[in-house]
């Protein structure tokens, strides 16, 4: 019940494409869903986060869609750029509790 | 730059040894979290401290321990090291205090056990 399932494991898109990464959770007590971006040799960096009372949140080219009834949330990257090539992690937590991370999606954006 | 500082960046040691990893949180953050990132296990939560007190425990082995000092920096101690302990160890910090606050990660310590 503590797992967060993330897919796909890897994704290749061309510049300008819209990669979509999906995550699913079981624990309905989770109330905070962040996405992190990680470049090689660096720590995860917070991209955007959502709470379950909101169905969508946009920050720049990044959008989170949240479906509470399906217990799923996804990250969309609009007009993707080669600089977006990184590993993306979804996560979930309950209040101030630990973050439960998905297994990560390695995104490659080709020019 | 997240504002979270971890030292050292790299650590190479042998089985059976003991090492200490250090983390300085962002200015003003009271919570410190430790995570382990390995290829087969992904990012796993180890332990959280808030203002010097242990707040939550995850998949932390008994050979591992941590503490948070009055100046809020934290140390993760790993002892009787095994080959399987080779991983990236990340520290994150947040304002904390019982509400969801973003966790900001340092760039990690890469531990290699020979």
Task: Determine, for residues A101 and B106 on separate chains, whether the beta-carbon distance falls below 8 Å.
Answer: no
Chain B residue numbers touching A49 (CB-CB < 8 A): 102
CA distances in angstroms from A33 to A3, A55, B7, B18, listed in the order given: 13, 12, 29, 35
pLDDT of residue A101: 94
**Residue B85, phi then psi, degrees to nearest 5:** -85, -5
pLDDT higher than 70, residue A71: yes
pLDDT grade for A94, boundaries at 50, 70 and 90: confident
Q: Which residue from B44, B100, B108 is facing A96, i.e. has the nearest CB?
A: B100
Q: Which residue from A43, A97, A101 is facing B107, i.e. has the nearest CB?
A: A43
What percent of chain B is predicted at pLDDT more than 70? Answer: 96
Q: Which residue from A32, A43, A96 is facing B96, i.e. has the nearest CB?
A: A96
Least confident of A73-82, B7-16, B38-47, B81-90: B38-47
pLDDT of residue A95: 74
pLDDT grade for B1, boundaries at 50, 70 and 90: confident
Of B21, B78, B29, which is closest to residue B49 (Cα–Cα)?
A: B29
CA distance A30 to A43: 23
Of A76, A77, A56, A78, which is closest to residue A67 (Cα–Cα)?
A: A56
Per-residue model confidence as pLDDT tens digits over B68-88: 999 999 999 999 999 999 999
pLDDT of residue B101: 79
The torsion defined by the Cα of A96, B72, B45 and B17, in degrees rounded to 10, comes to: -170
pLDDT grade for B97, boundaries at 50, 70 and 90: low
pLDDT higher than 80, residue A30: yes
pLDDT of residue B96: 78
Chain A residue numbers touching B106 (CB-CB < 8 A): 43
- Cβ atoms within 10 Å of B52's Cβ, excluding its own: 14
SS (H, E, C) chain B: CCCCEEECCEEEECCCCCEEEEEECCCCCCEEEEEEEECCCEEEEEEEEECCEEEEECCCCCCEEEEECCCCCEEEEECCCCHHHCEEEEEEEECCCCCCCCCEECCCEEEEEC
Answer for the pair A17, A6: CB distance below 8 angstroms, yes or no. no
Look at phi and psi of residue B108 and say left if phi exceeds 0, alpha if psi is from -120 to 50, else beta. Answer: left
CA distance B111 to B83: 10
């Amino acid at each position: 019940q503590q797992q967060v399932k993330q897919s796909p494991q890897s994704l290749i898109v061309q510049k300008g494409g819209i990669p979509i990464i999906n995550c699913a959770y079981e624990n309905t007590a989770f109330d905070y869903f962040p996405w992190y971006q990680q470049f090689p040799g660096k720590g995860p960096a917070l991209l955007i986060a959502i709470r379950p009372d909101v169905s969508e949140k946009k920050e720049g080219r990044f959008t989170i869609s949240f479906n509470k009834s399906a217990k799923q949330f996804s990250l969309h990257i609009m007009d993707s750029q080669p600089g977006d090539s990184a590993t993306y992690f979804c996560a979930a937590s309950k209040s101030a509790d630990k973050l439960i991370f998905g297994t990560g999606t390695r995104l490659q954006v080709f020019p | 730059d997240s504002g979270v500082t971890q030292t050292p960046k790299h650590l190479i040691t042998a089985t059976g040894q003991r090492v200490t990893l250090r983390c300085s949180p962002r200015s003003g953050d009271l919570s410190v979290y430790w995570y382990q990132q390995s290829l087969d296990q992904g990012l796993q939560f180890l332990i959280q401290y808030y203002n010097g007190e242990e707040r939550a425990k995850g998949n932390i082995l008994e050979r591992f321990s941590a503490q948070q000092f009055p100046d809020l920096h934290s140390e993760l101690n790993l002892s009787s090291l095994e080959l399987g302990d080779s991983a990236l160890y990340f520290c994150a910090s947040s304002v904390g205090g019982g509400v969801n606050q973003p966790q900001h990660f340092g760039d990690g310590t890469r531990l290699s056990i020979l």
